[in-house]
Amino acid sequence: MSRFYDLSVPDTKGGQVPMSDYEGKVVIVVNTATGCGFTPHYKPLEEMYEALHDKGLEIIDVPCNQFAGQTPGTDEEIHEFCTLKYNTKFPQMKKSDVNGENEIELFTFLKSQKGFEGFGKGAKALAMSALCKARDKDYKDSPDIKWNFTKFVIDRQGNVAARFEPTEDMKKLRECVEKLIG
């Protein structure tokens, strides 16, 4: 199995961004969407990026259209939406698959390190559980990404430290990142 730093992700210009560029940093890798109920997660992600980037935080945004077609448009249109609506400054990669036969290797690796552990508690968690169960009664048994805005946190040594489902409180994500930044 590869290490995080051995992998790369496709960028919007047809190249590859090596994860080795992020060695020694705390990294959030997130699959995003522009037309999802969780799209407002861009706001706390950008706030975290602005507050902690100089201390070693990087965010890798991978738009994905695999969940109810909630990421239509080209890479340029997606980028324009994010910068105009949420003033995002962190790097946005090429729209890519995070599950299935065409999933990018980065997500294959991340899922192998931190599988799905549930949506937590609350109304959003119950709604997501019902949605996923309707699509696949055995959804809990797979490490696959269940929906937009699943976040993986990688520590400064390249270890996948945590996985946050979109239903989890963004404050918990920030607490995890701040602890790893030190």
Largest Cα–Cα distance of the chain, in whole Å? Answer: 44
Q: Quick check: is 182 in a domain?
A: no
- Residue 64 among the catalytic residues: no
pLDDT at 6: 97
Q: Quick check: is 179 in a domain?
A: no
Q: Quick check: is 147 in a domain?
A: yes
Q: Quick check: is 180 in a domain?
A: no
Over its length of 182 residues, how does the chain's per-residue pLDDT go in tens digits?
Answer: 579 999 999 999 999 999 999 999 999 999 999 999 999 999 999 999 999 999 999 999 999 999 999 999 999 999 999 999 999 999 999 999 999 999 999 999 999 999 999 999 999 999 999 999 999 999 999 999 999 999 999 999 999 999 999 999 999 999 999 999 99
Q: Quick check: is 28 in a domain?
A: yes
DSSP codes joined into one string, 73-112: S-HHHHHHHHHHHH---S-B----BSSSTTB-HHHHHHHH
Q: Which domain holds residue 84?
A: 4-174
Neighbours of 83 (CB within 10 A): 13
- Written as six digits, the tokens of 169 are 């409180």
Question: The domain spanning residue 110 has which CATH number?
Answer: 3.40.30.10
| C-alpha 88, offset from chain centre | 14
- Work out how many domains the chain is built from and give that number: 1
Torsion of CA 116, 102, 92, 118, to 10 degrees: -10
Q: Quick check: is 71 in a domain?
A: yes
Q: Quick check: is 181 in a domain?
A: no
Q: Quick check: is 95 in a domain?
A: yes
Of the candidates 152, 164, 165, the one whose C-alpha atom is nearest the C-alpha of residue 107 is 152
